[in-house]
Structure 1
Amino acid sequence: MKVAIAGAGAVGRSIARELLASSHEVMLLERNPDHIDEEAVVGARWVGGDACELDNLEKVELHKFDVVIAATGDDKANLVVSLLAKTEFAVQRVVARVNDPRNEWLFDEDWGVDVAVSTPRMLASLVEEAVSVGDLVRLMTFRRGQANLVEMTLPDNTPLAGKPIRKLKLPRDAALVTILRGGRVIVPQPDDTVEGGDELVFIVPAEAEAELQAAIIEPAAPAL
């Protein structure tokens, strides 16, 4: 997979290293000459230039990339990069970094953003996750489909304990993607069961979050 990263600061470099370790082809586009250091991310293609300028994106043939990541420290720049990548170069997947949570509402499909990643929101979510049992914690938003990645920790005394996944009454379009149980990561199969203390990770439309929480935390009693 070919990935272009706009912004080669600490965040951009870290993302590049992770992608290179997974055998992806990575290009870092950075406007500040002081931030260009090929030895800092060995194996990446480094290009000097402003990713907000159309000419620079044409020179690097952005249309040939599968994913663009707008990872600068400037929300305005990340929005411009996202919009250009989607509208001018038809990049299939655009991921954008949100620096200021107050700007998060802008990072949607109108600006070409498929996935908005807000570090402050994610950190807050992790704190909530650590202290909340039975609450729905939103981890990430996928703007194109208006769906969210959410987590719920089952109470130890959950009435769902021992129930097969195939019998969970999930809202329409909601999907259980993984179960975290102790040190295990479980890819759920229909006959797997849920247990008290499980951390369940779902993808769910925003409008169905309340219904999902009610179905998992307060399941309806079986008919007599």
Structure 2
Amino acid sequence: MRVAIAGAGAVGRSIAGELLENGHEVLLIDKNPSHITVERVPQAEWLLADACEITSLDEAALQRCHCVIAATGDDKVNLVVSLLAKTEYGVPRVVARINHPSNEWLFNDAWGVDVAVSTPRLMSALVEEAVSVGDLVRLLRFSQGDANLVELTLPDEAALVGVRVGDVTWPEDTALVTIIREHRVLVPSQDDALEAGDELLFVAAQERETQLEDLLSLTRDEMQAAKAAQSEPGSATSE
């Protein structure tokens, strides 16, 4: 896969190094001569140019790229690069870095962004994920489909502990993609039973997050109380 990265600062170089280790072709673009440090990522291609200029992107042959990553420290630049990559060059996948959380609402498909990565939000989410049990934590937002990658650690008292994945009625537009259990990564099957302490990762529509959190946080006592209320005379189920 050929990837162009706009922004050859510390973030851009780090991304380039990871991609090169995974066998991809990488082109780093930056207009700041001090950022053109070829010796730091010698396997990459380098281009001293303004990634917001069409002539520069023509020189970079952006139409040959499978992915463009807008990784500069300027949100305005990242939006322009994303829009040009998608609309002018038809790049299949555009990933953009968000530097300031107040600008997050702009990073969507209207600006050509497929995936927006907010560094401040991601760091705060990782902190929450490390210390929160029973609370839904949003890790990553996907622009397409208005979906998010969310995580919840299943509490000991959760009603779903011991329940098979296939027996749970998950909210619409929600998919359980991974269970992290005792340092193992599990691809969930219908027959897997949920355990206390499981870290559950979902891709879920934003409007379903509250419903999903309510389901996962429901305790055994709350479930029994709800069943008792339904079985009382005069309830909807007993009539």
TM-score by length of 1: 0.96
Which secondary structure state, in structure 2, belongs to the residue aligned with residue 102 of structure 1? helix
8 Å CA contact 1:169, 1:215 repeated in 2: no
2:168 corresponding residue in structure 1: 168
* Identity percentage of aligned residues: 58
2:55 corresponding residue in structure 1: 55
Cα deviation per residue 1:12-40 (whole Å; 9 max; x = unaligned)?
A: 00000111111111111111111112211
2:37 corresponding residue in structure 1: 37
Which secondary structure state, in structure 2, belongs to the residue aligned with residue 124 of structure 1? helix
Alignment partner of 1:117 is 2:120: no
How far, CA to CA, are the matches of 1:116 and 1:94 in structure 2?
9
Output aligned runs, 1:52-201, within 5 Å.
52-201=52-201
Query: What one-letter code is carried by the residue in structure 2 that aligns with 1:48?
Result: L
How far, CA to CA, are the matches of 1:14 and 1:75 in structure 2?
19
2:20 corresponding residue in structure 1: 20
How far, CA to CA, are the matches of 2:185 and 2:102 in structure 1?
33
How far, CA to CA, are the matches of 1:110 and 1:187 in structure 2?
33
**Structure 1 stretches lacking a partner, 5+ long:** none
How far, CA to CA, are the matches of 1:191 and 1:176 in structure 2?
13
How far, CA to CA, are the matches of 2:210 and 2:69 in structure 1?
31
Query: What one-letter code is carried by the residue in structure 1 that aligns with 2:98?
Result: V
Which secondary structure state, in structure 1, belongs to the residue aligned with residue 51 of structure 2? coil
How far, CA to CA, are the matches of 2:218 and 2:156 in structure 1?
13
**Structure 2 stretches lacking a partner, 5+ long:** 232-239
How far, CA to CA, are the matches of 2:171 and 2:89 in structure 1?
36
8 Å CA contact 1:122, 1:140 repeated in 2: yes
How far, CA to CA, are the matches of 1:173 and 1:64 in structure 2?
34
How far, CA to CA, are the matches of 2:106 and 2:57 in structure 1?
22
How far, CA to CA, are the matches of 2:25 and 2:164 in structure 1?
41
Greater fraction helix: 2
Q: Which has the larger radius of gyration?
A: 2
2:236 corresponding residue in structure 1: none
1:157, distance to aligned residue in structure 2 (A): 2.1
Count of residues in Structure 1 that have an aligned counterpart in Structure 2: 224
TM-score by length of 2: 0.90
CA RMSD of aligned residues (A): 1.4
How far, CA to CA, are the matches of 1:89 and 1:16 in structure 2?
21
8 Å CA contact 1:16, 1:41 repeated in 2: yes
8 Å CA contact 1:5, 1:68 repeated in 2: yes
Cα deviation per residue 1:186-218 (whole Å; 9 max; x = unaligned)?
A: 121221121001110100001111111122222
Which secondary structure state, in structure 2, belongs to the residue aligned with residue 204 of structure 1? strand
How far, CA to CA, are the matches of 1:65 and 1:199 in structure 2?
35
8 Å CA contact 1:5, 1:71 repeated in 2: yes
